Structure formats: C-alpha cells, structure tokens
Amino acid sequence: MKIEHAMVLAAGLGTRLRPVTNTMPKPLVRIAGKPMIDYGLDALEAAGVTKAVVNVHHFADQMVAHLSRRALPEILISDETEALMNSGGGLAKGLKLLGAEPVFVLNADLFWVGEKPGDQSNLRRLSSFFDPERMDMAMLCVRLENTTGHNGRNDFSMDADGRLTRHDPDRGQPVVYAGAIAMMPALLEDAPDDAFNLNIYFDRAIAAGRLFGLNLDGHWITVGTPEAISEAEAVVGGQAGAA
C-alpha cells in the first residue's frame, strides 16, 4: 500500500530529559548533530511521504521555526499550545488536517538507524505489510536486544503471522513498540474531542485480533534522560562507522 501522508507526535513536555528540555522541546534535542525529529522526517521523506502533520505544544515557537525550513514533506501544524491532547487526542486532532488516505504515525522523540543500503526501508516495508482488510493498525516493533535507552520492558507478544497481544512471556515473540504505525484515519472517527491515550485503540484492535506488528531492521533509539544522549550518540556513531 502506498502511503503519502503522516502524523508526527511531537507535543510532549520531555520532563525526564530536564534540564535539557527547560529551554527547548525534546524533538529538537540533537543526537550526533541532528535533531531527533529530523531522523523521523527524513525517513518519511525517503518513504515517499509528501505531507505530514506535526503537533506542537512545548516551546511551540521553536518547533514551528525549525519545521518551516523544511521543504519535504510539506509540514502542517496541529496547535496544542492551549492544552495537551495526549497521544490519542493529539492524533485524532491532527488527522483532521489530512484526508481519508492511509497514514503513518510516528513518535518524534525516538528513531532508528542501521537500515541496510539497497534494502527496502522500514517504513516502506510497513506500508507494504499493512492490510486494512485484516488490520486496524500495523505497528513497527523491535526486539529488546536491538534497542538503546529503553526501560527494558517488552510491550507486546507477536505470533508467527505478526498478530500482536499484550506481552505475555509464555506466548509469541516479545517485542517493543518502535513508535511507527500504518493505519487508516477512519479508525479514529469515533474518537473523543478531548485528551486520551492511544492505548485505548491498541487494546480495541487486540480484542478484535486486528493489531499486527512488523520487526524493524536496524537499531532503535530512545532518549529519555540527559545521560542517554551520549549512549545514543555512541550507537549512531557506531552505525555510521559500520556503513
């Protein structure tokens, strides 16, 4: 399936990354010289995405200024400066700026490195994997051993067909949600107008047997504390050296 639209969730406060985020939004924290959000936006551009909504709240002016300098994908701003909408509410609000076509949903404060040159990218693999006839969401997942900065907990168990359930050590392959989803905007047509957590829709999809996952190629990085910045930069540098 071809996916040309995206929503990037970027409005969080980044409280665990203080004092760094006392003066800037978390998605603009640089890892190996590059703001975290640009890793995701570059991946979207490479996957053929032409338009992306980004929600903003914390130091919104800095986010808007940074994003205004980008040519592709075209950026639309979903303004949450008056009130944070949480992951689900922010997504539901932002999707109203797009049409009915399938979308990627990305978290702005994590990213991956180490895709093999010449191979299909993770996002292109995810779009090919997504089948709205069988799936509410197709989620990019990663094995715990291929993460840096994570809390050490698995989120889901994946069966041989890629179907996901909440993590159970006695069933399926344990995986971590890697912060990228392929879905149809119509899934959130019944969403409330106020703040809510996207986990509600994860659980609905699980109950219906319609939440699926695809394993990430490469190494996944999240930066939750100031100390994690150097750990992430070491991984990025190592991947660049290997390439």
Task: Give me the residue label for tokens 């107008």.
Answer: 193
> What is the SS3 string spanning 11-79?
CCCCHHHCCHHHCCCHHHCEECCEEHHHHHHHHHHHCCCCEEEEEECCCHHHHHHHHHCCCCCEEEEEE
Tell me: cis bond preceding 19? Omega within 30 of 0 counts.
Answer: yes
241 pLDDT exceeds 60? no
The answer to whether 47 and 121 have CB atoms below 8 angstroms apart is yes
Which pLDDT score is estimated for 74?
A: 98
Query: What rounded mean pLDDT belongs to the chain?
Result: 95
Q: Which of 226, 184, 235 is nearest to 205 (CA)?
A: 184
Question: pLDDT digit string (tens) for 155-169?
Answer: 999 999 999 999 999
How far apart are alpha carbons 223 and 109 in whole angstroms? 7
How far apart are alpha carbons 162 and 140 in whole angstroms? 10
Which pLDDT score is estimated for 152?
A: 85
Which pLDDT score is estimated for 242?
A: 41
Q: What is the pTM of this model?
A: 0.94
Helix (H) / strand (E) containing 181: strand 173-183
> What single string gives the DSSP state of each residue in 207-237?
HTT-EEEEEPSSEEEE--SHHHHHHHHHHHH
Q: How confident is the model at residue 35 (pLDDT cuts 50, 70, 90)?
A: very high
The neighbouring-strand residues paired with 236 are none
Which pLDDT score is estimated for 240?
A: 57
242 vs 207: which has the higher pLDDT: 207
Which pLDDT score is estimated for 237?
A: 85
Q: How confident is the model at residue 216 (pLDDT cuts 50, 70, 90)?
A: very high
Question: pLDDT digit string (tens) for 90-144?
Answer: 999 999 999 999 999 999 999 999 998 889 999 999 999 999 999 999 999 999 9
Question: pLDDT digit string (tens) for 67-88?
Answer: 999 999 999 999 999 999 999 9
Which pLDDT score is estimated for 18?
A: 95
Question: pLDDT digit string (tens) for 83-97?
Answer: 999 999 999 999 999
The answer to whether 28 and 62 have CB atoms below 8 angstroms apart is yes
The answer to whether 48 and 2 have CB atoms below 8 angstroms apart is yes
The domains located in the chain, with CATH, are 5-242 (3.90.550.10)
Helices marked H in 101-225: 122-129, 199-207
How far apart are alpha carbons 13 and 233 in whole angstroms? 22
Which pLDDT score is estimated for 243?
A: 35
